[in-house]
Chain A
Amino acid sequence: MLQVDGIDVCYGDLQVLWDVSLRVGAGEIVVLLGANGAGKTTTIKTVSSLLKPAKGTVTFQGTRLDAVPSHKIIEYGVAHVPEGRRLFPDMTVEENLMVGSLRGEAKSRRSRTMDWVFEIFPRLKERRRQPAGTLSGGEQQMAAIGRGLMSLPKLLMFDEPSLGLSPILVADIFRIVELINKQGMTVLLVEQNVKHTLNMCDRAYVLENGRVALSGTGREFLDNDHVKEAYLGI
């Protein structure tokens, strides 16, 4: 479904990704792991076309996404829930969700999708008229995920959705990611929460210093000594 082929990405003169390739198959949950600064965010920002690769290609269902402007990506069915939530702080929860469904079919199905999002996150329904900037961290993450769902994407990319949440909430968020996946959306998950994600994912990639250092199934990773030592601390 999504194919990233040998991309190099630079910020100005500073190269941060070297020859990164990864693949996400339809219906999968794929996890992208890596330490701080490894280049995870850079990778999915390149998929969203917010950054352009200096070399290599990004292909989604036969379309070269790297040639599409970032604001058109969502029309191809790719939604990106960015690092740090990035809600529109002065807009209400409801308005944030509306802005998630501006394009195409998502617009005509807006109210039904919103009901579905409120079903998944009843908390958001209670807070629908509250400015997003005044939500708690957990609620903001829910709103950000909800906003991503509003476009009815085929592929949903999450950038560290568990960041800064309590363990109970983290478990909740991952449960919902699995639920969303079961309902037919493909998931690319950027995470540092290794234990949790390796158990739920189909496949995983590890980025180290801007290069893919390891890839395999979740099971293989859990048995891998290097992963155990470097990321699980056992």
Chain B
Amino acid sequence: MEVFVQTLVAGVLKGGLYALIGIGMTLIMGVMGIINLAHGQMMMVAMYLTYVLFHYLGIDPYMALFVSMPSLFLLGMFIQRFLLNPLMKVESILPENQVLMTVGIAMVLTEIARFIFTSNYLSVQTSYSTKAWYVGEISFSAALCVAFAFAALLSAGLFGFLVKTDLGRSIRAVSQDNEAAQLMGIDSERIKIITMGIGAALVAAAGTLLLPIYYLFPDIGGPFTRKAFVITILGGLGSTVGAIFGGVTLGLAEAFGATYIGMDYEDMVGLIIFILVLLFLPGGFKRLTKV
């Protein structure tokens, strides 16, 4: 029973971070109509940024959020403005080919990281990296709890923004009907730039929050892009609320997989869930081809 509850706690806490990764991907998916296969690599950039701030300047990862999020917001906007939007203007290029561009961007980011930092594993050791709180026999990793709290706060903030502000409503309008949105005076190219920025900033937060309890190497982006993809599919492509559900589901699946099947099978359980969802809940896939 204790093992079960402990696994549940670990899964939910990790799920909070996954939700943060998935929400960004989902937002981009909704507005752009494409999946961003550089999502995990953007997170990797934020992690290296956090590492540099910690290692060379002694800045705590939680403070580094205030650097990594705005930096990735700018990087996301840059990528959309100069690499993805120009593709949309060429009629002979199918929208799907933007996905190929994101794959290219992912490779470039990874290789730049390898060039600067080599392929070595890096990590950030803080006072709270291994700290835990106990409720009875159940341990709550301090870093994961803080990460979960930040994730909840950022998600709530994002929802408030999407529902309560004109800019947020414009983002939703573009994702629901791009042409009608233009008729309402919404510049959808600008909205796409901003949305990519927000998605990048959210995944940056996840990366920065994860670093104190994780390790870092250039190829770490790939697995997280896959996780983001799984979460987005689990949540029913394009639904931000669904992404939270998807994130927690994946967190739980991995935790239970690791506990009851074996550490090495953690990722496999996630992917099995992914395939099951594709087989039995394929409805979400329609959204991919719609735009």
Report yes or no: B179 in contact with A72, Cβ–Cβ below 8 A.
no
Max chain A C-beta neighbours (<10 A), residue from B173, B176, B185 = B185
- Answer whether A91 and B183 are a contact pair too, CB < 8 Å, given A71-B188, A86-B177: no
Report yes or no: B186 in contact with A102, Cβ–Cβ below 8 A.
yes
Q: Give residues 165-222 of B contacting A (CB, 8 Å).
A: 166, 169-170, 172-173, 176-177, 179-188
Q: Quick check: is A28 within 8 A (CB to CB) of the other chain?
A: no
Of B166, B176, B188, which one neighbours A102 at CB under 8 angstroms? B166
- Answer whether A73 and B183 are a contact pair too, CB < 8 Å, given A88-B177, A91-B173: yes
- Answer whether A87 and B180 are a contact pair too, CB < 8 Å, given A72-B185, A75-B185, A99-B170: yes
Q: Give residues 45-59 of A contacting B (CB, 8 Å).
A: 48, 50
Q: Quick check: is A89 within 8 A (CB to CB) of the other chain?
A: yes
Complex Cα distance, B169 from A107, in Å, reads 14
Report yes or no: A89 in contact with B184, Cβ–Cβ below 8 A.
no
Interface mask (A55-93 → B, CB under 8 Å = 1, otherwise 0): 000000000000001111111000110100011111100
Report yes or no: A151 in contact with B179, Cβ–Cβ below 8 A.
no
- Answer whether A98 and B182 are a contact pair too, CB < 8 Å, given A71-B188, A89-B176: no
Report yes or no: B186 in contact with A50, Cβ–Cβ below 8 A.
no
Complex Cα distance, B184 from A74, in Å, reads 7
Of B91, B177, B183, which one neighbours A70 at CB under 8 angstroms? B183
A146 to chain B, nearest CB (A): 12
Residues of A within 8 A of B (CB): 12, 48, 50, 69-75, 79-80, 82, 86-91, 95, 98-100, 102-103, 107, 147, 151
Between A and B, 30 residue pairs with Cβ closer than 8 Å are A12-B91, A48-B183, A50-B183, A69-B187, A70-B182, A70-B183, A71-B182, A71-B183, A71-B185, A71-B188, A74-B183, A74-B185, A82-B179, A86-B177, A87-B180, A88-B172, A88-B173, A88-B181, A89-B176, A90-B176, A91-B169, A91-B173, A91-B176, A95-B169, A98-B166, A99-B169, A99-B170, A99-B173, A99-B186, A151-B185
Question: 5 more A-B contacts (CB under 8 A) besides A70-B182, A71-B188?
Answer: A86-B183, A91-B173, A99-B184, A102-B170, A151-B184
